[in-house]
Every structure is written in structure tokens, then in C-alpha cells.
Structure 1
Amino acid sequence: VMPLRWDDTCPACLAGHQHICQRLDFIGIDSPGAMQQRWTVPASTLIRLPDTLPLDRAALVEPTAVAVHDVGRAKVTEGEKVVVVGGGPVGILIALVARAAGADVRVVELSAHRRLLAEELGLTAWDPADDDVPALVGEWTGGAGADVAFEVSGAAGGVDTAVDVLGVRGRLCLVAIHPRPREINLHRFFWRELTLIGARLYDRSDFERAVALVADGTIAVGRLISKVVPLTQAPAAFEALEGGGDVMKILVDCTTGTDHTHDARGADV
């Protein structure tokens, strides 16, 4: 999805932040445009893909753009220590984008399947149920703590972990959408002069950067595709994702054909 239009009277838009317009209109969310073969959109919403980029990989550009935006918001730089709390699709993509920026990255994830996928992608993953994550971060950083933590789990425990692993002047980038207000250790923010950063959506430059990272193979999004299903199986795909388990990303093929072994000309869910 990309913004359909922006409001020339909106303070956020006038400040250059059209992607978080206070009256945002998104294709596929606020306006029609999803789970179909084709639809008409304003030319300004389009971003060209390389002809060599398979469409199943291209379907993962959007969540990669989220990760690019998050890493940019946190201002991750080369050599920094980064902890990603939550190893779902967006968490893994954040870890990969941060690594591409030169950071040293650790992923914290409860699911053994997702930890294994992270490790197959060359990332180090920790299990918060069995590992003392703050202690591991202390050993990893020589007692300094992490420079940046991304909270991508959406859980109260994830918030605690993200705060606890940060060193002095650390940055906590909040990515997950939390369903209810959370308690947070504000004394830790005071004591270590931490910074909390909100990260929502992406702008056009993030999307363009995501296309480049996916197209050149820097971000191996193909490893995140669990399976491709026809449009008739979309409800079951959403149920599978809600159930967790061994599923990362499911692509929905919106064509009328039955061969789902190659390009998925549709959307990811």
C-alpha cells in the first residue's frame, strides 16, 4: 500500500510528513485496492520495479520498506549494537536492514521456527524463555548495553526487554502496534538518558530503497515466503497467520491460474 493522496491543509503534510498525514488515505486500507488482479491508481503512487525482479519477491517490498523506515528513524549507523525484540517478518527484515547498514545485530524471539530462520539468514537469535537476554547483551557489549533496540513483539515483556538491554543514550524504536497501554520503566529512561522513537509506515524514499535492497539480493526476502496460495484460500491464510506456528509470510496469488510455484501476482498477508 502507498498513500493515495495527501491533504494540503494538514500540518503534518505541510511539514513534509505526508506518509503520516493526519487524514491519511491508504490504498487497500482507507480506499479500495487489494486482493484483486488490477485496479486504477494515481500515477504518483507508483514505483518502478526492475524487470528482473520476480513478482513474489516484489510482494515483500512493502514490509521491507517498513524495515527501512524503522532503521532510518532509529538512525542506525555502522558498528552499532542493535537488538531486535520480536523475530516475525518485520523483525527479521529490520535485523537484515540494520545489518546492511553495518550494525551488529541480535534477534530475540520465542518461536524456535523463527529463530532457526533468523540463524539461516546469518543472524544470531536468542530465546527469551531460556536465555537471560540482558545478561547476554552485557557480555556481547562489554557491559555497555545496546545502542538501539527495536520493539517488534507487541508484548509487555518485549517492551521490558527492549528497555533493559539499552545502554547510556540508547534509542528504543517502537515498531509494534500495542493493543493497550503498557507500563514502561521510566526510571531507566531517566537514569540512562534513553530516547523513545515512534516508527509508522514509510515514505517514498524508504520504498525506493527497499526495492533496491530486494532487487540486488541484499535482503533475501524469498526466505520469508512460507507458501503461495490462490485467492480462494485467502481466509485460511489469515487464520494460519493468526495462529502463529511455523508460518512467516503467505502470498496470495490473485491470478486465475492454478500454478503457484513461481511468481505470486498478488499481495502478501
Structure 2
Amino acid sequence: MASARYDGNRTISVCDTVPVQPSSGEVRIDVSYCGVCGTDMHIFHGAMDARVAPPQIIGHEASGVVAEVGEGVTAVKPGDRVAVRPLFFGGPAAYDRGHSHIGKNLKFIGIDAPGGMQSSWTVPDYTLHRLPESMPMTHGSMIEPAAVACHDVRLGEVAPGETVVVIGGGPIGLLIALVAADKGARVLLSEVNSARRGLAESLGLETIDPRSIDLVGAVTDLTDSAMADCVFEVSGSAQGAEAMTELGCGRGRIVMVAVHPEPKPVNLFRFFWSELRLIGARLYEPQDFNEAIQLAASGKLRLDRLITQITPIGDVQSVFEAIDASPDGVKYLIDCR
């Protein structure tokens, strides 16, 4: 079978590998599509070489069809259409407080273990979520990032009638904006890329270019000085970290979605003055996958509109190079069939 393998030095090669027979509690799926995530791009750039030991099969945003089940597996059967929640739990720890997705023993499949950019993928049975028969498998491969957005909005406690600001309009930012809008919130998306703003506007979202219009002033005008109930920092930029504390209302919430690998200045006075809350949001839990599947099946997330390109696995290197060359795209899918 074909597999996309990170070899280091900005190289993703396609190699022949042998399907892995499922052991007890495991399931082998025939992968349909696998999305390229920002994390995959970090791997491609070599930024995660300390964690990803090349050569390694990468990818984690996958849909597929169950091909074979190991002993004891009853939740799915051959022929079931599934999305993968790519988390491996290495055992309980007091630190987790029951939230294993942020546990010290967590392993991320596709980073810490072989991922989904391959024609056949063997994973633990508990990672699988069944997809409706009516859902395109392209949409099934986007359930993972949609689940991220559902998790973020849930932790942000977004409610009908609230004002939400999303800083950063990449794939996750767009999905957060769409999920928050579905909750009944008024959403303003701040994004510097004109192509992504145009896409967001075509999806019915309000947008702003923070380089040409003052974001704080715009939110002030939009809310008649009340400011935002919830702010999502998804840009990973110093400007986003600086702006987020200026946008919240009294007792407003700020949800930190982006990964900031280096410390950035944050106005802590604003947390004291307005009793703001800062909420970290990482990955997802099973209920977020279930909600993402429901929203995707309803058509509310407009997933077709977010797909920039679908490419056969044999041309996977060109996809990573295309993403590097242009920031305009949103979601690139690899056809692994």
C-alpha cells in the first residue's frame, strides 16, 4: 500500500508499506482522505524533529472504511464509515483529573505514532467515530478539525446573542467562527489575508482586516462600547496576544486556541481590571467529535467551501510545497484510496 512518510529536510516521500494486522482492541481501516494540518506543516519544516523521528508516516485528519477488526472489537464492524480521533492514552494520572486528552501520558497518533496518510491504518477501536452514510468521505476527514472548533466553542461557553471575536481566519479560526455563529452568537473574524476574508464573507461572516481598521475601535463600535463576550486567539501572533485582552467585556472570556511556542507579552492588568477569564483549549473530547459530526451532517459548516484542493497521495510533496508557497488556501486533502 502507499504511505506518505516524512523523511526530514522538507521531504515527504511516498513509499510501499504493508498493512498492519489489528491486534486485540484494534481496527484496520482503509483510509479515504487525510487532511493536511498546521501541525503537519510544522513537521515538514523540521520544527518537530525532536518529537517526530523520521522516517515516519504522518497525518491525523482522516476518514476511512473499516476493513478488519481485532479480537474483542464490537463498536464497529467491517464496512462502517468512520472518522479517527487520533489520541492514544497511555494510562491514568492524577494530573488528568479525568481529562485524558490533556494528560501527561497522552500520545498523539500521527506525531508520536504512525499517522493516517496511508492507504491502510491500524488504530485503537476507541479512536473511531461512525459517520452517517450520507456524509461524503471528504467531509469525514474534516471532522477532526471541526471537533477542535466544537471543543473551543464549548469551553468558551458561547451563548445565543453574545458577541464573539475570532482572531485568525485559518481553517480552525473559520470553523470556530461557523460553530459560534451556529450557537446564535454575532461573530467578527479578524484576518489579514484577503482571500480568507473573502471566503469568510461568502459564508455569511463579518470580517475585518486589523492592518487597515483598528480592531479595538471596530469592536467598540459594533457593541456600543460593551465589547466582546468571548474572544478566540487563533492567530498565534504577538499582535493577536496583544489585542485579545483589549476586546473583552467585563468578565469576558478569552480562549487560547493557538500554539504560542515562545512567550509573548500579555496585558495582565486587563485581567484584574475587567475580571477577564483566560481559558486554554487543547484538542477535543468524544462529545466534540459527536457534535462535529452532527453539524457536518446538517450542512451548517459548509465544509465543501473550505476544501481548497484534493490531491492523490502520490503527489503529496507538491501539496506541502503549495501550502508553503501561498497562505491563501484553507484545507488541502490527500486522497489515500
TM-score, length of structure 2 as denominator length: 0.73
The answer as to 2:249 corresponding to 1:167 is: yes
The answer as to 2:267 corresponding to 1:213 is: no
Aligned residue type for 1:11: A
The answer as to 2:100 corresponding to 1:10 is: no
Query: 5+ residue gaps in structure 2?
Result: 1-59, 61-84
Q: Is the 8 A contact 1:147 1:171 kept in 2?
A: yes
Residue 238 of structure 1, CA deviation: 1.9
Which one has the bigger helix percentage?
Answer: 1
Q: What's 1:139 paired with?
A: 221
Q: What's 1:264 paired with?
A: none
Which segments of structure 1 move beyond 3 Å, counting only runs of 4 or more? Answer: none
Q: What's 2:283 paired with?
A: 201
What count of residue pairs does the alignment treat as equivalent? 254
Superposed CA RMSD = 1.3
Q: What's 1:56 paired with?
A: 138
- Tell me how far apart the structure 2 counterparts of residues 35 and 166 of structure 1 sit (CA, whole Å): 40
Residue 12 of structure 1, CA deviation: 4.0
Q: What's 2:174 paired with?
A: 92
Q: Is the 8 A contact 1:63 1:90 kept in 2?
A: yes
- Tell me how far apart the structure 2 counterparts of residues 135 and 202 of structure 1 sit (CA, whole Å): 33
| 3-state SS, counterpart of residue 250 of structure 2 | strand
- Tell me how far apart the structure 2 counterparts of residues 84 and 9 of structure 1 sit (CA, whole Å): 34
| 3-state SS, counterpart of residue 52 of structure 1 | coil
- Tell me how far apart the structure 2 counterparts of residues 11 and 235 of structure 1 sit (CA, whole Å): 42
- 1:118-148 CA-partner distances (Å, limit 9, x unpaired): 0000000000010111111011111011011
Q: Is the 8 A contact 1:3 1:24 kept in 2?
A: no
Which one has the bigger strand percentage?
Answer: 2
Residue 56 of structure 1, CA deviation: 0.7
- 1:88-119 CA-partner distances (Å, limit 9, x unpaired): 11000000000111111000000000000000
Q: Is the 8 A contact 1:69 1:199 kept in 2?
A: yes
> Larger Rg: 1 or 2?
2
Call closer, same or farther: CA 1:64–1:9 in 2, change over 3 Å. Answer: closer
- 1:202-229 CA-partner distances (Å, limit 9, x unpaired): 0011011101100110111111100101
- Tell me how far apart the structure 1 counterparts of residues 128 and 324 of structure 2 sit (CA, whole Å): 30
The answer as to 2:292 corresponding to 1:224 is: no
Residue 3 of structure 1, CA deviation: 4.6
Q: Is the 8 A contact 1:85 1:109 kept in 2?
A: yes
Q: What's 1:234 paired with?
A: 316
| 3-state SS, counterpart of residue 63 of structure 1 | helix
Q: Is the 8 A contact 2:90 2:107 kept in 1?
A: no
- Tell me how far apart the structure 2 counterparts of residues 243 and 4 of structure 1 sit (CA, whole Å): 30
Query: 5+ residue gaps in structure 1?
Result: 256-269
TM-score, length of structure 1 as denominator length: 0.91
Correspondent of 2:234 among 148, 152, 160: 152
The answer as to 2:247 corresponding to 1:247 is: no
Q: Is the 8 A contact 1:7 1:23 kept in 2?
A: yes
The answer as to 2:154 corresponding to 1:72 is: yes
Q: Is the 8 A contact 1:37 1:254 kept in 2?
A: yes
Structure 1 stretch displaced more, 27-36 or 139-148: 27-36
- Tell me how far apart the structure 1 counterparts of residues 225 and 157 of structure 2 sit (CA, whole Å): 22
Q: What's 1:30 paired with?
A: 112
Q: Is the 8 A contact 1:146 1:166 kept in 2?
A: yes
